[in-house]
């Protein structure tokens, strides 16, 4: 089936909820992808920060093959070892409390929202509220959607879940004023991902922690995009002056398979009880085995140091390019701000033609999320391609 036929079939059979680039990928290895015509691409998006250990990482593939050949699924009515070992590893590497496994980031956030609301009810709050920042992205299921202000504005999807409010991004004063005794949680992306890579300032993070401590609200870090090594530490909170009460993870955790996790600190792992929450597929043996393989690769000080070093080098190289006005983010999670008047979508399309995959989360920004295993020659190649694309744009 050629690309045109595939596109026609997709239009006929799939709900049209995505705008896809006209490329069919058929193979991946490390930071490289190949399309159906044999053309090679350098992938600086990694499936939106999912393939952080590279496409078809041999250790992950081996773990999946081994587990799939032995046992795939038993449901959460029974025990299976990979699930329990994964929870142990996630807890031990972060907040130390109990873990709820899910199938996606938005589901992990649903779990966090439930814990926050139930905890607020336990302390006598009748109408708990969850505070998030404008331009945050926490997911598309209704709870997470309600905490995602921009998407929650869509009247066609209303009515929204009540009990959510948004404050201006990175506005410590507004956050302090919005958090009060009815607040169940402050939900934060330490670095906003989908809106264009915008890190929260340390002042705002400290204000959020303080406001939560004063009111009994929980501080939730949505690390769905920032976690699992993306910023150069296993979790982004490790490079901030605060510790969250709940942490959610997904994307890179499964190495390409769908997974989510909500990790609690201390006693918060006891809040949800049997019947409060659940999932048929969550904690499946195959995806848990994959996630354990991913953590074995990423929870490595040498790899994480390399992510920080490569990220710093990439940032410096990008800033030296005409047309780049700023580079935001940390580690290998970078937003490249382009000069006013440059259409980032056109630049990204030109880069795709040249064999470099990036994306455009907002007008004027290129988002770079290469695999953490990318090598320095590939980073140099990406920089050269971006420089050439911006030069061509200026000349056109």
Partner 1 sequence: MSVEKLPPEQRPPASAADAAARLAKIVDAAERAAAGVIDEAEAQAQRQLDEAHKRADRVVAERLRELADELDPPGRSEPRGAHLRPVDPAPEDDGEAPPPRSASAGARLLATQMAVSGAGRAEIEDRLREGFAIDDTSELLDAILGPEE
Judged by the rule CB under 8 A, the positions of this chain that interact with partner 1 are: 95-97, 119, 123, 167-168, 171-182, 202, 205-207, 209-211, 213-216, 218, 233-235, 237-245, 264-268, 301, 304-305, 308
Q: Which is nearer to partner 1, 238 or 380 (CB)?
A: 238
Q: How far is CA 107 from CA 46, 151, 318, 337, in A?
A: 21, 17, 35, 31
Least distance to partner 1, CB of residue 301, Å? 3
Q: Which is nearer to partner 1, 77 or 302 (CB)?
A: 302
Q: Which is nearer to partner 1, 83 or 179 (CB)?
A: 179
DSSP 335-367: EEEEPTT--HHHHHHHHHHHTEE-EEEETTEEE
Q: Of all helices (H) and strands (E), which one includes residue 221? A: strand 218-222
Q: Which is nearer to partner 1, 95 or 224 (CB)?
A: 95
Q: How far apart are the C-alpha atoms of 72 and 176, rounded to whole Å? A: 47
Q: Which is nearer to partner 1, 181 or 346 (CB)?
A: 181
DSSP 30: B
Q: Nearest Cα to 251, choosing from 223, 272, 271?
A: 223
The backbone torsions φ and ψ at residue 326, rounded to the nearest 5 degrees and listed phi first, read -160, 155
Q: Which is nearer to partner 1, 244 or 258 (CB)?
A: 244
In this structure, are residues 328 and 337 in contact, taking their beta carbons and an 8 Å threshold?
yes
Least distance to partner 1, CB of residue 154, Å? 22
Q: How far apart are the C-alpha atoms of 127 and 142, rounded to whole Å? A: 17
Pairing of strands 333-338, 191-192: unpaired
Least distance to partner 1, CB of residue 183, Å? 8
Least distance to partner 1, CB of residue 114, Å? 16
Least distance to partner 1, CB of residue 312, Å? 9
Least distance to partner 1, CB of residue 238, Å? 4
């Amino acid at each position: 089936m050629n690309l045109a036929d595939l596109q026609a079939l997709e239009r006929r059979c799939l709900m049209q909820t995505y705008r896809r680039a006209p490329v069919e990928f058929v193979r991946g290895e490390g930071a490289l992808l190949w399309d159906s015509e044999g053309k090679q691409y350098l992938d600086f998006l990694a499936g939106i920060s999912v393939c952080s250990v590279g496409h078809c990482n041999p250790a992950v593939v081996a773990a999946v093959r081994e587990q799939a050949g032995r046992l795939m699924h038993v449901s959460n009515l029974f025990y299976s070892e990979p699930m329990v070992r994964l929870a142990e590893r996630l807890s031990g590497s972060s907040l130390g409390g109990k873990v709820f496994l899910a199938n996606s980031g938005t589901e992990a956030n649903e779990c966090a929202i439930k814990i926050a609301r139930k905890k607020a009810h336990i302390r006598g709050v009748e109408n708990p509220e969850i505070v998030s920042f404008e331009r945050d992205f926490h997911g598309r299921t209704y709870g997470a959607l309600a905490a995602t202000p921009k998407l929650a504005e869509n009247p066609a999807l209303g009515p929204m879940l009540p009990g959510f409010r948004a404050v201006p991004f990175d506005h410590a004063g507004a956050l302090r004023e919005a958090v009060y005794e009815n607040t169940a949680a402050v939900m934060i992306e330490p670095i906003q991902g989908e809106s264009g890579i915008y890190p929260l300032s340390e002042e705002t993070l400290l204000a959020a922690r303080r406001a939560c401590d004063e009111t009994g609200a929980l501080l939730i870090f949505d690390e769905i995009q920032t976690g699992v090594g993306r910023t150069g530490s296993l979790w982004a909170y490790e490079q901030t002056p605060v510790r969250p009460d709940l942490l959610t993870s997904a994307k890179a955790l499964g190495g390409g398979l769908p997974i989510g996790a909500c990790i609690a600190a201390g006693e918060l792992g006891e809040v949800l009880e049997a019947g409060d929450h659940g999932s048929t597929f969550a904690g499946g043996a195959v995806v848990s085995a994959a996630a354990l393989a991913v953590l074995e690769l990423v929870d490595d000080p040498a790899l994480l140091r390399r992510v920080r070093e490569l990220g710093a080098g990439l940032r410096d190289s990008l800033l030296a390019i005409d047309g780049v006005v700023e580079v935001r983010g940390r580690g290998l999670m970078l937003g490249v701000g382009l000069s006013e008047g440059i259409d980032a979508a056109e630049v990204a399309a030109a880069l795709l033609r040249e064999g470099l995959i990036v994306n455009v989360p907002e007008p004027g920004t290129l988002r770079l999320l290469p695999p953490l295993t990318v090598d320095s020659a590939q980073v140099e190649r990406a920089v050269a391609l971006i420089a050439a694309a911006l030069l061509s744009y200026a000349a056109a």
